[in-house]
Amino acid sequence: MFNKVWSAFEQKRVGIIGLYGVGGVGKTRLLTEINNKIGVSSGGFDVVIWVVVGKVQDDIAKRIGLFNGNWSDKAPEEKAADIYGILREKKFVLLLDDIWERVDLSKIGIPVPNQENDSKLIFTTRSTEVCGQMRAHKKIEVQCLPEEEAWKLFEEHLKKWPKNVEDTSCTHHHRSAMACKNTPEEWQHTIEVLKKSANFVFPNMGEEVYPLLKFSYDSLPNDLVRSCLLYCSLFPEDFQIHKEYLIDLWIGEGFLDDHDTISQARNQGHHIIGSLVHACLLEGVDDWCIKMHDVIRDMSLWIACTCEAEKWKSFVQAGYHLTQMPEGGRWKGMQRLSLMKNEIENLTEAPNCPDLQTLFLDDNHQLKVIHNDFFQFMCGLKVLSLSGSHGITELPVGIAKLVSLEYLDLSSTKIRELPIELKALQKLKCLNLNNILRHITIPRGLISSFSKLRILRMIGSYLFDEAVDESNECLLEELQGLYHLNALSLSITSAFALDRFLNAERSHNYTEVIALEIWRDSKQLNILSLANIKSLHTLVVGRCESLEEVKMEWAGEGRMIKAQSHIQTSVIATQHCFQSLHIVFIYTCSKLRDITWLVLAPNLRDVSVAGCNEMEEIISEVKLSQVAGLVGTLTPFVSLKYLNLEELPKLKGIYRNPLPFPCIKKIDVRHCPKLRRLPLNSNSAKANKISIAGNEKWWKELQWEDESTRNAFLPCFIAAERKARNC
């Protein structure tokens, strides 16, 4: 890292260097080493100035001989003029440590470092945004050590090395506190204590380490963002948190209530996540998920569990392999409780916790029994999540006691039927019924009773099917009466049911995810029948064994208008594109030969196609020519980031010509033996870091546009076998 920074420092065109990274990662130490190196080999600099934020002008004045006489009496503008008068004649290096916002160099009197004056500015920050605001010519992230190097450092800091200590798993950030522990038994005891109690803090950790990290927390813009950060500590260590799922929870908590629509609330949620990532308090995993660094999570739990000034009392025992619920007395006074990823078998005791607002019981796979009185003394509960607790087959009638509940997640359970007593949950805003492993029965009149419902998810659970037509009609009618509903996800299992759903026009305004699955009644799908669903974000088409063709035909003026007609290209292409569609997943449609219609989705980010035995082309040249009047000059995949192709034995092509792929990050090809060419040339994916995963044999036999294209993408390959091991 030092060499990387020094290399940038020596480049003439680089005047300003920003070093950013999480607290405690070593930014200040790195800046110190740079300072020492400049001192040894000055490089012709007249002055090197280390500045403490808050006293910038005074520190500079001391180094250049201005801090005397009446300096303290001068106004900031006078000081700036004096500093500028001297520094403009000098070749200087300014080292600015730990800044949290833009420093206006002109107001201080610092000439902007550039090629003309040969001066340099190096600063450290925890925020990439500050690097941009400071107009850094070079931004360098100071990352944590690789595991092997961290372990070497760990060994060096131990005064005595207990035998077999390598079999333990104490985290590196507690090493100084463990240096005096000399036996494996002491280490093992400490590890067990750490696993069992989020309240445990090593001697001096709370006094020395966490307060330093808490400065990052205190510096966040407002209490809402601070609450959103603390919320992430409720999840298990190293847990990858899906952004949309997290934002749904924040909506259920009431964090994002100042918006009329879910779209606006989501935008604010993503803004908050982005600000926390930029502040290095959360880590981006990919486009969909974030996670919390262990040290930041420890700090957040310390704040939530031990700081009396915080009104955010949490009890977190996530991933502890608990087989029994913690004693009810430990719940008292708690506002948020997380027992995720445990092995609790039943919930029989009725804990007295009227202050409890949030209860996470996700992924307790052994959980089978929830006693009828369990929820009796939780009148303030707003969020309840049982997601992934596969053993649950029914909800107790006593859940009706949760009259304050606003978020209920029953996804990936085996609940057979929703009790009619849920009508008591008049404040419910979010209901997640996704992937309930036995299709759930919903009593008539229940959904319509949730008058404040804003989010309803039913993918793979409640199926709109021709066989249950009466129930479909009933639920569709109930949905039409939910005037606050903003987001709907559902599965549709027949062309007949799809027509019924499309006739309910109000649903077009809020349907975000549609899964067309297990079709047996139709060989064709007219994709433009979905074009009026302007909010459609994700489309899944799967296990449709009868589906042979996806057509593009627009119904208008009482007749079907063929794509090859003379209608104005620009009008059709603009009006009937799937502008909001970001994700498409096609799987196990064994008779489908192409999905040319994807050209009508200009904002696609993620496309996955798997298990389609007859698929020959992704976008067919022949079909594209047939619908030229519809698609016009649209270029496919201009926003695509991820393309996944798997188990497509007849696939020969993706697109006829090379594509620019300006946003592409990853192409993954598995078991597509006839795919010999990718739509790439030397101009594709320029300025992007792209990876191409696949089998070694497939990669070696791949044909390229020309040698320069081959050379450009040769470093991008990841062998499928190696990728699997890394995962």
| pLDDT tens readout for residues 247-260 | 999 999 999 988 88
pLDDT at 692: 95
Give me 724's structure tokens: 């699997």
How far is CA 633 from each of CA 472, 550, 603, rounded to the nearest angstrom?
40, 20, 15
Collapsing DSSP states into helix, strand and coil, what is residue 708? helix
Q: What are 156-198's pLDDT values in tens digits?
A: 776 555 545 544 433 444 454 555 566 777 777 666 655 554 4
Spatial separation of the C-alpha atoms in residues 169 and 155, rounded to whole Å: 13
Domain boundary among 122, 141, 160: 141
In a domain, 380, yes or no: no
pLDDT at 274: 94
How far is CA 120 from each of CA 15, 38, 50, rounded to the nearest angstrom?
5, 11, 12
The answer on 646 and 541 residing in a single domain is yes
- List alpha helices for 653-704, DSSP H: 696-700
- List alpha helices for 27-158, DSSP H: 27-40, 56-64, 76-87, 105-108, 128-133, 147-157
Q: What's the rounded mean pLDDT across residues 86-111?
A: 89
Residue 123 has pLDDT above 90, yes or no: yes
DSSP β-ladder status, 383-385 and 358-360: parallel
Q: What are 361-371's pLDDT values in tens digits?
A: 999 999 999 99
The backbone torsions φ and ψ at residue 502, rounded to the nearest 5 degrees and listed phi first, read -65, -25
Any idea what the CATH number is for the domain that residue 93 is in?
3.40.50.300
Give the residue from 697, 679, 608, 684 showing the smallest Cα distance to 647: 608
Q: What's the rounded mean pLDDT across residues 335-351?
A: 93
Q: What's the rounded mean pLDDT across residues 66-71?
A: 80
The answer on 281 and 152 residing in a single domain is no
Q: What's the rounded mean pLDDT across residues 672-685?
A: 94
pLDDT at 41: 60
Provide CB contacts within 8 A for 175, sequence distance 6+.
154, 157, 158
pLDDT at 724: 35
Residue pair 573/601 in contact (Cβ under 8 Å)? The answer is: no
The answer on 677 and 561 residing in a single domain is yes
The answer on 68 and 34 residing in a single domain is yes
Residue pair 8/140 in contact (Cβ under 8 Å)? The answer is: yes
Residue pair 340/241 in contact (Cβ under 8 Å)? The answer is: no
Any idea what the CATH number is for the domain that residue 253 is in?
1.10.10.10
The answer on 221 and 166 residing in a single domain is no
In a domain, 356, yes or no: no
The answer on 719 and 611 residing in a single domain is yes
Across 474-508, b (16+ Cβ under 10 Å) vs e yields: bbbebbeebeebbbbbbbbbbbbbbebbbebeebb
Question: DSSP character for 703?
Answer: B
Provide CB contacts within 8 A for 395, sequence distance 6+.
370, 410, 415, 418, 419, 422
Domain containing 237 equals 205-306
pLDDT at 194: 52
Residue 549 has pLDDT above 90, yes or no: yes
Residue pair 64/57 in contact (Cβ under 8 Å)? The answer is: no
In a domain, 327, yes or no: no
The answer on 698 and 553 residing in a single domain is yes
In a domain, 536, yes or no: yes
Residue 670 has pLDDT above 80, yes or no: yes
pLDDT band with cut points at 50, 70 and 90 for residue 55: confident
Q: What is the pTM of this model?
A: 0.74
The answer on 185 and 46 residing in a single domain is no
Residue pair 540/514 in contact (Cβ under 8 Å)? The answer is: yes
pLDDT at 115: 85
In a domain, 232, yes or no: yes
pLDDT at 339: 96
In a domain, 484, yes or no: no
pLDDT at 191: 64
Spatial separation of the C-alpha atoms in residues 649 and 674, rounded to whole Å: 7
The answer on 151 and 136 residing in a single domain is no
Residue 619 has pLDDT above 50, yes or no: yes
* pLDDT over 90 percentage in the chain: 53
In a domain, 550, yes or no: yes
The answer on 575 and 616 residing in a single domain is yes
Residue with tokens 């909506």: 251
pLDDT at 267: 94
pLDDT at 353: 92
What would the DSSP string read from start to end of 185-196? HHHHHHHHHHHH
pLDDT at 686: 84
Provide CB contacts within 8 A for 425, sequence distance 6+.
399, 400, 402, 403, 405, 408, 450
pLDDT at 168: 42
The answer on 209 and 169 residing in a single domain is no
Q: What are 692-707's pLDDT values in tens digits?
A: 999 989 999 999 999 9
How far is CA 174 from each of CA 3, 27, 166, 535, rounded to the nearest angstrom?
28, 19, 15, 48
Give me 513's structure tokens: 């995810």
The domain total for the chain is 4
Across-strand partners of 432? 409, 457
Residue 726 has pLDDT above 60, yes or no: no
Residue of 17 and 319 predicted with greater confidence: 17
Domain boundary among 141, 161, 178: 141
In a domain, 260, yes or no: yes
The answer on 190 and 51 residing in a single domain is no
Domain boundary among 306, 332, 355: 306
Q: What are 450-494's pLDDT values in tens digits?
A: 999 999 999 988 777 766 566 677 888 899 889 999 999 999 988
